[in-house]
Protein backbone atom coordinates (compact mmCIF):
# COMPACT_ATOMS: atom_id res chain seq x y z
CA UNK A 1 0.00 0.00 0.00
CA UNK A 2 2.83 2.41 0.88
CA UNK A 3 4.49 1.74 -2.46
CA UNK A 4 1.24 2.57 -4.27
CA UNK A 5 0.85 5.79 -2.29
CA UNK A 6 4.44 6.79 -2.97
CA UNK A 7 4.04 6.03 -6.67
CA UNK A 8 0.86 8.08 -6.80
CA UNK A 9 2.53 11.01 -5.01
CA UNK A 10 5.48 10.83 -7.38
CA UNK A 11 3.20 10.79 -10.41
CA UNK A 12 1.25 13.84 -9.21
CA UNK A 13 4.44 15.70 -8.27
CA UNK A 14 5.84 15.12 -11.75
CA UNK A 15 2.63 16.32 -13.41
CA UNK A 16 2.52 19.44 -11.22
CA UNK A 17 6.14 20.29 -12.00
CA UNK A 18 5.67 19.45 -15.67
CA UNK A 19 2.62 21.68 -15.91
CA UNK A 20 4.52 24.68 -14.52
CA UNK A 21 7.50 24.15 -16.83
CA UNK A 22 5.40 23.36 -19.92
CA UNK A 23 3.40 26.54 -19.27
CA UNK A 24 6.57 28.63 -19.05
CA UNK A 25 8.76 26.98 -21.67
CA UNK A 26 6.37 25.24 -24.05
CA UNK A 27 6.47 21.57 -24.98
CA UNK A 28 9.55 21.76 -27.22
CA UNK A 29 11.84 23.69 -24.86
CA UNK A 30 10.83 21.94 -21.63
CA UNK A 31 13.12 19.06 -20.66
CA UNK A 32 12.39 15.91 -18.69
CA UNK A 33 15.53 16.57 -16.65
CA UNK A 34 14.30 19.99 -15.49
CA UNK A 35 10.85 18.61 -14.75
CA UNK A 36 12.22 15.77 -12.61
CA UNK A 37 14.60 18.12 -10.81
CA UNK A 38 11.64 20.37 -9.95
CA UNK A 39 9.59 17.37 -8.78
CA UNK A 40 12.43 15.79 -6.84
CA UNK A 41 12.01 12.60 -8.86
CA UNK A 42 14.27 10.27 -10.80
CA UNK A 43 14.23 10.72 -14.59
CA UNK A 44 13.29 7.05 -14.94
CA UNK A 45 10.00 7.85 -13.18
CA UNK A 46 8.77 9.67 -16.30
CA UNK A 47 9.22 6.58 -18.45
CA UNK A 48 7.64 4.41 -15.76
CA UNK A 49 4.52 6.54 -15.27
CA UNK A 50 4.05 8.21 -18.65
CA UNK A 51 6.13 6.40 -21.26
CA UNK A 52 7.92 9.51 -22.52
CA UNK A 53 7.75 13.31 -22.67
CA UNK A 54 4.75 13.24 -25.02
CA UNK A 55 2.88 10.92 -22.70
CA UNK A 56 3.65 13.23 -19.77
CA UNK A 57 2.47 16.33 -21.65
CA UNK A 58 -0.79 14.72 -22.70
CA UNK A 59 -1.37 13.36 -19.20
CA UNK A 60 -0.94 16.84 -17.73
CA UNK A 61 -3.37 18.43 -20.19
CA UNK A 62 -6.01 15.72 -19.83
CA UNK A 63 -5.72 15.33 -16.05
CA UNK A 64 -6.24 18.99 -15.19
CA UNK A 65 -8.82 19.61 -17.90
CA UNK A 66 -10.83 16.61 -16.72
CA UNK A 67 -10.57 17.94 -13.17
CA UNK A 68 -12.08 21.25 -14.25
CA UNK A 69 -14.82 19.67 -16.40
CA UNK A 70 -15.76 17.24 -13.63
CA UNK A 71 -16.13 20.10 -11.15
CA UNK A 72 -17.92 22.42 -13.56
CA UNK A 73 -19.31 20.39 -16.50
CA UNK A 74 -20.80 22.35 -19.45
CA UNK A 75 -24.28 21.01 -18.60
CA UNK A 76 -23.94 22.03 -14.93
CA UNK A 77 -27.42 23.01 -13.74
CA UNK A 78 -29.06 22.25 -17.09
CA UNK A 79 -32.17 20.05 -17.14
CA UNK A 80 -34.24 18.87 -20.08
CA UNK A 81 -37.29 20.72 -18.76
CA UNK A 82 -35.61 24.13 -18.83
CA UNK A 83 -36.23 26.69 -21.52
CA UNK A 84 -33.35 27.18 -24.00
CA UNK A 85 -32.71 30.65 -22.57
CA UNK A 86 -32.28 29.18 -19.08
CA UNK A 87 -29.97 26.49 -20.47
CA UNK A 88 -27.87 29.19 -22.11
CA UNK A 89 -27.51 31.06 -18.81
CA UNK A 90 -26.42 27.86 -17.03
CA UNK A 91 -23.92 27.06 -19.81
CA UNK A 92 -22.37 30.52 -19.67
CA UNK A 93 -22.13 30.44 -15.87
CA UNK A 94 -20.35 27.08 -16.01
CA UNK A 95 -17.98 28.29 -18.76
CA UNK A 96 -17.01 31.41 -16.81
CA UNK A 97 -16.58 29.48 -13.58
CA UNK A 98 -14.25 26.96 -15.21
CA UNK A 99 -12.04 29.83 -16.38
CA UNK A 100 -12.17 32.13 -13.37
CA UNK A 101 -12.48 29.87 -10.34
CA UNK A 102 -9.44 28.42 -8.57
CA UNK A 103 -10.30 24.75 -9.12
CA UNK A 104 -7.20 24.38 -11.31
CA UNK A 105 -3.56 25.38 -10.62
CA UNK A 106 -2.73 28.97 -11.65
CA UNK A 107 -0.35 27.75 -14.35
CA UNK A 108 -3.01 25.66 -16.11
CA UNK A 109 -4.68 28.67 -17.77
CA UNK A 110 -1.28 29.73 -19.15
CA UNK A 111 -0.64 26.22 -20.44
CA UNK A 112 -4.00 26.10 -22.22
CA UNK A 113 -3.48 29.60 -23.62
CA UNK A 114 -0.12 28.49 -25.00
CA UNK A 115 -1.71 25.40 -26.53
CA UNK A 116 -4.37 27.57 -28.19
CA UNK A 117 -1.88 30.06 -29.65
CA UNK A 118 0.91 27.57 -30.38
CA UNK A 119 -0.90 24.26 -31.00
CA UNK A 120 1.07 21.06 -30.54
CA UNK A 121 0.28 17.54 -31.68
CA UNK A 122 -1.93 17.25 -28.54
CA UNK A 123 -4.36 19.98 -29.58
CA UNK A 124 -6.54 17.78 -31.79
CA UNK A 125 -6.89 15.31 -28.92
CA UNK A 126 -8.12 18.11 -26.64
CA UNK A 127 -10.57 19.36 -29.26
CA UNK A 128 -12.14 15.97 -29.85
CA UNK A 129 -12.10 14.92 -26.20
CA UNK A 130 -13.68 17.95 -24.55
CA UNK A 131 -13.91 21.12 -26.66
CA UNK A 132 -16.08 19.71 -29.46
CA UNK A 133 -18.63 18.05 -27.12
CA UNK A 134 -18.89 21.27 -25.10
CA UNK A 135 -19.35 23.41 -28.21
CA UNK A 136 -21.95 20.98 -29.57
CA UNK A 137 -23.99 21.37 -26.37
CA UNK A 138 -23.92 25.15 -26.83
CA UNK A 139 -24.85 24.83 -30.52
CA UNK A 140 -27.87 22.70 -29.59
CA UNK A 141 -29.01 25.38 -27.13
CA UNK A 142 -28.50 28.21 -29.64
CA UNK A 143 -30.27 26.22 -32.36
CA UNK A 144 -33.32 25.86 -30.12
CA UNK A 145 -33.33 29.61 -29.47
CA UNK A 146 -32.99 30.50 -33.16
CA UNK A 147 -35.33 27.77 -34.35
CA UNK A 148 -32.70 26.31 -36.65
CA UNK A 149 -30.68 23.12 -36.98
CA UNK A 150 -27.45 22.83 -34.91
CA UNK A 151 -25.29 22.70 -38.06
CA UNK A 152 -26.76 25.93 -39.49
CA UNK A 153 -24.06 28.53 -40.16
CA UNK A 154 -25.86 31.25 -38.17
CA UNK A 155 -26.02 28.91 -35.19
CA UNK A 156 -22.26 28.38 -35.42
CA UNK A 157 -21.59 32.10 -35.68
CA UNK A 158 -23.79 32.93 -32.70
CA UNK A 159 -22.26 30.11 -30.67
CA UNK A 160 -18.74 31.33 -31.42
CA UNK A 161 -19.74 34.87 -30.46
CA UNK A 162 -20.95 33.61 -27.07
CA UNK A 163 -17.73 31.67 -26.49
CA UNK A 164 -15.74 34.74 -27.58
CA UNK A 165 -17.44 36.93 -24.98
CA UNK A 166 -16.61 34.42 -22.24
CA UNK A 167 -13.00 33.99 -23.33
CA UNK A 168 -12.49 37.75 -23.47
CA UNK A 169 -12.55 37.99 -19.69
CA UNK A 170 -9.74 35.42 -19.45
CA UNK A 171 -7.45 36.24 -22.36
CA UNK A 172 -7.85 40.02 -22.11
CA UNK A 173 -7.44 40.03 -18.33
CA UNK A 174 -4.08 41.89 -18.40
CA UNK A 175 -5.75 44.74 -20.33
CA UNK A 176 -8.97 44.70 -18.28
CA UNK A 177 -7.23 44.98 -14.90
CA UNK A 178 -5.30 48.00 -16.18
CA UNK A 179 -8.34 49.70 -17.65
CA UNK A 180 -10.62 48.89 -14.72
CA UNK A 181 -8.59 47.82 -11.64
CA UNK A 182 -10.49 45.40 -9.43
CA UNK A 183 -13.32 44.81 -11.91
CA UNK A 184 -14.30 41.76 -13.98
CA UNK A 185 -11.22 39.79 -12.97
CA UNK A 186 -12.17 37.25 -10.34
CA UNK A 187 -14.71 34.62 -9.38
CA UNK A 188 -16.79 37.22 -7.51
CA UNK A 189 -17.81 38.73 -10.84
CA UNK A 190 -19.10 35.51 -12.37
CA UNK A 191 -22.79 36.09 -11.69
CA UNK A 192 -22.72 39.64 -13.06
CA UNK A 193 -20.84 38.55 -16.18
CA UNK A 194 -23.19 35.59 -16.65
CA UNK A 195 -26.21 37.88 -16.67
CA UNK A 196 -24.54 40.41 -18.98
CA UNK A 197 -23.35 37.87 -21.58
CA UNK A 198 -26.70 36.06 -21.49
CA UNK A 199 -28.63 39.33 -21.91
CA UNK A 200 -26.34 40.55 -24.69
CA UNK A 201 -26.42 37.22 -26.54
CA UNK A 202 -30.18 36.71 -26.31
CA UNK A 203 -30.85 40.19 -27.62
CA UNK A 204 -28.38 39.68 -30.45
CA UNK A 205 -30.05 36.41 -31.42
CA UNK A 206 -33.48 38.04 -31.23
CA UNK A 207 -32.29 40.64 -33.75
CA UNK A 208 -30.89 37.87 -35.95
CA UNK A 209 -34.27 36.10 -35.97
CA UNK A 210 -36.06 39.33 -36.91
CA UNK A 211 -33.56 39.99 -39.70
CA UNK A 212 -34.15 36.50 -41.12
CA UNK A 213 -37.94 37.00 -41.15
CA UNK A 214 -37.59 40.20 -43.18
CA UNK A 215 -35.62 38.49 -45.94
Residue 141 has pLDDT above 80, yes or no: yes
SS3 annotation, the chain: CHHHHHHHHHHHHHHHHHHHHHHHHHHHHCCHHHHHHHHCCCCHHHHHHHCCHHHHHHHHHHHHHHHHHHHCCCCCCCCCCCCHHHHHHHHHHHHHHHHHCCCCCHHHHHHHHHHHHCCCCCHHHHHHHHHHHHHHHHHHHHHHHHCCCCCCHHHHHHHHHHHHHHHHHHHCHHHHHHHCCCCCCCHHHHHHHHHHHHHHHHHHHHHHHHHHHHC
Q: How far apart are CA 213 and CA 215, in angstroms?
A: 6
Q: Based on the number of CB atoms within 10 Å of its own CB, is 4 exposed (0-12), middle (13-18) or buried (19 or more)? A: exposed
The predicted pLDDT at position 1 comes to 47
More confident residue, 173 or 147: 147
Residue 170 has pLDDT above 60, yes or no: yes
Confidence label for 185 from pLDDT (cuts 50, 70 and 90): low
More confident residue, 3 or 208: 208
- List the Cα angle 106/107/111 in 5-degree steps: 140
Confidence label for 37 from pLDDT (cuts 50, 70 and 90): very high
Q: List, for residues 114-127, the tens digit of each pLDDT value.
A: 998 899 999 999 99
Which of 19-33, 111-125, 149-163 bottoms out in mean pLDDT, i.e. has the lowest? 111-125
Q: How far apart are CA 85 and CA 199, in angstroms?
A: 10
Residue 215 has pLDDT above 60, yes or no: no
Confidence label for 213 from pLDDT (cuts 50, 70 and 90): low
Q: Are 19 and 108 in contact (CB under 8 A)?
A: yes
Q: Based on the number of CB atoms within 10 Å of its own CB, is 178 exposed (0-12), middle (13-18) or buried (19 or more)? A: exposed
Please provide the average confidence, as pLDDT, over all residues in the chain: 90
Q: List, for residues 78-128, the tens digit of each pLDDT value.
A: 888 999 999 999 999 999 988 887 667 888 888 988 998 899 999 999 999
Q: CA–CA distance from 7 to each of 2, 4, 31, 42 (Å)?
A: 8, 5, 21, 12
Residue 67 has pLDDT above 90, yes or no: no
For the whole model, what pTM was predicted? 0.85
Contacts of 99 (CB under 8 A, 6+ apart): 109, 166, 167, 169, 170
Amino acid sequence: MDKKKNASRTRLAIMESAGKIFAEEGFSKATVRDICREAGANIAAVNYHFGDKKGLYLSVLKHYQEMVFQTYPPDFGITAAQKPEEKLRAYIRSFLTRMMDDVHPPWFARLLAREFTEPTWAFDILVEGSIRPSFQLLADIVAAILGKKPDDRRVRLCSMSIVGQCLHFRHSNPVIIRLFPGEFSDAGQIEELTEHITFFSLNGMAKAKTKNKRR
